[in-house]
Amino acid sequence: DPVRLKDYRPTPYAIRTIDLDVRLDPENTTVTARSRIEPREGTAPGTPLVLDGDELILTSVAIDGRALGTADYEATDKRLEIFAPPAGAFTLEVGTRIAPAKNTKLMGLYRTASNYCTQCEAEGFRRITYFYDRPDVLAVYTTRIEARKAEAPYLLSNGNLIERGDIAGTDRHFAVWHDPFPKPAYLFALVGGDFARISDTFRTMSGRDVTLEIYVEHGREDRGAYAMDSLKRSMKWDEEAFGREYDLDIFMIVAVSDFNMGAMENKGLNVFNDKYVLAKPDTATDQDYANIEGVIAHEYFHNWTGNRITCRDWFQLCLKEGLTVFRDQEFSSDQRSRPVKRISDVRLLKSHQFPEDAGPLAHPVRPETYHEINNFYTATVYEKGSEVVRMLKTLLGAETFRAGMDLYFARHDGDAATIEDFVACFAEASGRDLSQFMLWYKQSGTPELRVAQGYDASAKRYTLTIEQSCPPTPGQPTKLPMTIPVRFGLVGPNGADLAFEAVSGAEVAGDVIVVTEPKHEVVFEGVSAPPVPSLLRGFSAPVRLALELSAEASLFLLASDNDPFNRWQAAQTLATTALIEATRAVRAGAVPSIDPKLVDAFARVAVDDKVDPAFRALTLALPAEADIAREIGSDVDPDAIFAGRDALKKAIATGGRTAFRHLYESLASAEAYSPDAASAGRRALRNSALDYLAHAGETDSVMERYRTADNMTDRLAALGLVVGLGLPEAEAALIDFYSRFDGDGLVIDKWFTVQATAPLAATLDRVRALTEHPAFSLTNPNRFRSLVTAFATGNQTQFNRPDGAGYAFVADHVLTLDEINPQVAARLLSAFRSWRALEPRRRAYAEAELKRVLDKPGLSRDVADIANRSLG
């Protein structure tokens, strides 16, 4: 049965403190949990205490020092029920036994390399001991850890270290940690093992010195410097941008090589997938560096938005995730280039969240029902959740937004809060009624704005007719109109925004039209010339915009709009129109014809030295195949999309060959590698030029780039081209790359991914063979994702092979992995999420595979949930 938001009730008992005693052993870890528990007001005496558990073995249970008899309780591996607890406060002591070495789900306490670590969000703490494993039960944790000294010289947990020592006469030692901040169980963490440690300090704005420690695998200590630097910049930025200061004496990060997600914000002890910590120039790309900076910031920012203020229940997940993504995006914008960051974020939103919203897995930013919460750590909750916060800022203005945030921190510190609590702070700070705005949290699907324009020259009157709609989504056949902030400019003939004397038909605050009705006629008086409308500047709302603009008007915006985001958008719009036409031509058996004006515009952007190289690189990147598929919407043929896109790419490459050659040569640099945004932008532009040159047939440069590269960004860009284009040197390059990085898992992942994403007919056989490679692993999520998930999500033509073999291969792996790690298996299965939009033949194959998965007996809840919803 699903869990429903409307069924929320507080627990009958509160748990004030918990003292844990954990004795680490791979097969036989013992956990003793002593909790101080009291009935909440209104709880009837004798109300049973029902605690969560998962795959636990109970070894003892006592109340106030007295062991309970079997008539007093019932224990299964899923729950512990105490039939009649004392009427007042009492101490419960529970003993459990677990086997970290057998924990392949990587939830709860598990082994990674030869270390121990935990992952408790969302419901992993119940795999350590019986507890109220839900975010609205906040307790003060004291954690004693004991282990063999040789096996685990470091013993870490949340809070501050209060005691440590050897256990006399044994080979064991212990450490005791105390976290003074009450927290939910999902923020608990424990690490034991042998690591290399990198240390630093940070002085907070009130002058307290905080110890900073990053723990990495031995031999990787030369790869932690960028993460440490990112952490210090994050701490400073949160003080300046939001007035948030760190609150413990120590902040620790542990990098592990087996991790289901990106990272985890456990209080004072963040645990990271090591791909978001480790970097040096010859093993990490510019994108890796940017990801590290962003994820380090994200987890650090959770200390306030997530930890000090947590969520009442898991329906409120976006309260901490959407808000924290917004904060990390703002941080990266301030550290790097704001327009470039915005374009990258919108690309991610459109390629991950828009397809989710358009398919059978669509759900509101705040869902109202779920079967398995792990399946809701989605692009909708995270990325669309961030867009909703950004819209609040756009509507309210920066100052009022900050006042609302200040109020939220002041009022809810120490609370397990809801979205209603959060939005109320902004309503109060602004005096604005935000009840219609709340629909952004409740309605799923991507709204669409249809816009038409008219200009009356004699009256100097310009009119925008704006209509909003939102397509039906699972469980939501009809939608209410929403509040949509449309940042805009009326671009005049010389490229500057035109002034207007008066406006009517909608609230217009500064450069934002606030759309609230199904239809607005927005009338601007005193407009001196016919403008070209620049709408949704900065992508001010996560909507689809349908506005008929001539190619001339788009080319004009590309050259002249003073909003950089919309200059980029103009190029995307032009390319998308051309790509849809080219795809249609291919399907009709014709040769696509490409407009030379478009080719010319791309070549001109490439060499326009007045424009930031990173921005030029983003503009030159054609919309991804999946984006084109989404725009086409139904009866999708991925091979035709690929052929159409290839034709456009080759036309631009050939027409702009001289420009790309010039660019490639002029951007050569003798400087040592630096990961800063400006250098990364120059590399991105140079590699984009290389990509076009290769598509124009100039493949010699590619191999030479591969051989002479002095950093991973350039080497991998060249390898991707050699392999993706199926050049004769591909095998030799792959062998060379492997031998250079043999044993370095994170780099071998890149080697797997390059092969899995090559759009070649031989790819599936190669991927199948690579699943037998000694470096591949079903139990390590990074290895598995870099090969199998990369194939399913990053290779449109081969996953969607017309014979259905790509689907069958992926479904087989979903079923195999489900018995090892259901969370990662469920993620993989969501690669089928756009299956209904496919042409009939592929659709039938995909549906058959989804049904085959669903029919398997003993399926995990994670995979069953995705299969059920996908089939809808």
Active site residues: 299
Exposure on the CB side of residue 333, measured as CA atoms within 13 A: 15
**294 vs 781 by CB, closer to Zn ion:** 294
* Region near Zn ion per CB under 5 A, out of 70-78, 313-321, 828-836, 863-871: 313-321
Distance, in Å, from the CA atom of 625 to the CA atom of 620, rounded to the nearest integer, reads 15
Token output for 819: 């018995």
> How near is the Cβ of 722 to Zn ion at its closest, in Å?
37
**21 vs 321 by CB, closer to Zn ion:** 321
* Region near Zn ion per CB under 5 A, out of 39-47, 320-328, 539-547, 574-582: 320-328
Q: Which residues contact 516 (CB under 8 A, 6 or more apart)?
A: 436, 481, 482, 483, 484, 506, 507
**184 vs 339 by CB, closer to Zn ion:** 184
Spell out a b/e string for 427-454, using b for 16 or more CB atoms within 10 Å of the CB, else e.
bebbeeebeebbbbbbbbbbbebebebe
> How near is the Cβ of 342 to Zn ion at its closest, in Å?
20
> What single-letter DSSP state applies at residue 531?
P
**418 vs 540 by CB, closer to Zn ion:** 418
> Amino acid identity, residue 37?
I
CA distances from 464 to 25, 504, 505, 711 (A): 69, 11, 9, 50
**122 vs 490 by CB, closer to Zn ion:** 122
**280 vs 327 by CB, closer to Zn ion:** 327
CB contact at 8 A, 314 and 376: yes
* Region near Zn ion per CB under 5 A, out of 90-98, 314-322, 606-614, 637-645: 314-322
> How near is the Cβ of 302 to Zn ion at its closest, in Å?
6
Distance, in Å, from the CA atom of 841 to the CA atom of 507, rounded to the nearest integer, reads 49
* Region near Zn ion per CB under 5 A, out of 38-46, 217-225, 318-326, 588-596: 318-326
Chain residues 703-762 in contact with Zn ion, contact rule CB under 5 A: none
* Region near Zn ion per CB under 5 A, out of 22-30, 72-80, 123-131, 324-332: 324-332
> How near is the Cβ of 298 to Zn ion at its closest, in Å?
6
> How near is the Cβ of 273 to Zn ion at its closest, in Å?
13
* Region near Zn ion per CB under 5 A, out of 315-323, 614-622, 683-691, 695-703: 315-323
> How near is the Cβ of 186 to Zn ion at its closest, in Å?
11
Q: How many CB atoms lie within 10 A of CB 678?
A: 12
Start-to-end Cα distance in the chain:
16
* Region near Zn ion per CB under 5 A, out of 6-14, 321-329, 470-478, 700-708: 321-329
Chain residues 36-55 in contact with Zn ion, contact rule CB under 5 A: none
Distance, in Å, from the CA atom of 493 to the CA atom of 556, rounded to the nearest integer, reads 9
What is the radius of gyration, based on Cα positions, of the chain? 28
> How near is the Cβ of 183 to Zn ion at its closest, in Å?
15
**385 vs 822 by CB, closer to Zn ion:** 385
> Amino acid identity, residue 57?
I
> How near is the Cβ of 473 to Zn ion at its closest, in Å?
24
**283 vs 307 by CB, closer to Zn ion:** 307
Distance, in Å, from the CA atom of 105 to the CA atom of 504, rounded to the nearest integer, reads 58
**316 vs 324 by CB, closer to Zn ion:** 324
> How near is the Cβ of 33 to Zn ion at its closest, in Å?
27
DSSP reduced 3-state for 90? strand
CA distances from 82 to 62, 127, 166, 214 (A): 10, 19, 37, 41
**324 vs 378 by CB, closer to Zn ion:** 324
Chain residues 484-513 in contact with Zn ion, contact rule CB under 5 A: none
> How near is the Cβ of 238 to Zn ion at its closest, in Å?
14
Q: State the Cα angle at 765 between 762 and 768, rounded to 5°.
A: 145
**174 vs 276 by CB, closer to Zn ion:** 276
Q: How would you list the strands of the sheet with 544-547, edge to edge?
A: 502-504, 519-525, 461-469, 448-456, 544-547
Distance, in Å, from the CA atom of 475 to the CA atom of 424, rounded to the nearest integer, reads 27
Q: Tell the residue number behind the tokens 């009939």, with chain if given.
A: 840
CB contact at 8 A, 146 and 172: yes
> How near is the Cβ of 433 to Zn ion at its closest, in Å?
30
Task: Tell me, letter by letter, the H, E, C secondary structure of 596-656.
Answer: HHHHHHHHHHHCCCCCCHHHHHHHHCCCCHHHHHHHHCCCECHHHHHHHHHHHHHHHHHHC
Q: How many CB atoms lie within 10 A of CB 291?
A: 17
Torsion angle of C-alpha atoms 667, 669, 674, 676, degrees rounded to 10: -20
The pattern of x and - marking residues 86 through 125 that bind Zn ion according to CB under 5 A reads: ----------------------------------------
Q: Which residues contact 868 (CB under 8 A, 6 or more apart)?
A: 371, 854
Binding residues for Zn ion (CB under 5 A):
321, 324
